[in-house]
Structure 1
Amino acid sequence: MENRRKRTQQDDIRLEPYVSKGVYTESGGIRPMPKRYPLGIIKVLLVSIPFLYLGSLASKYAAMGLEKMDVFIYTDDDDNDDD
């Protein structure tokens, strides 16, 4: 069991900087502040917004193609017709 744990730790050594080890060191000292990445949210938005837009365009054109081939036709079923 101990060998397996050591082997797993060696395999996961690349994740070492990203794993939280708590606030205190083994000797009782306080660890330094975690590393901050500048403009992190902006980078996420710069990647996610264009791909969300491209995905919406792809689904829009796929729905238009399905409607043109009469595979899927959108009908607005209104069950609240009291007339």
Structure 2
Amino acid sequence: MEIIVVIAIIVVLVLFVVGLYNGLVQRRNRIDEAFAQIEVQLKRRHDLIPNLVNAVKGYMGFEQKVLTDVTNARANAVS
């Protein structure tokens, strides 16, 4: 009878350790997945920056023309 109690305690402890280990592995996997998602977003942001720079450069010419036209219009209005 005594040996059955000892075996039962050992089985319970083993199951507890296995459950604890599986929980830790699951948490580690979630952390790895979260870091992977962060990497994806950083890569996406890095890829979008050149497109943004090109868009701003293209719009810069238009803005420069508008500023020149406004400056000339003000100068003509004052004269």
TM-score normalised by structure 2 residue count: 0.45
Task: Give the helix-richer structure, 1 or 2.
Answer: 2
Higher RCO (CA-CA < 8 Å; seq separation 6+) = 1
TM-score normalised according to structure 1 size: 0.43
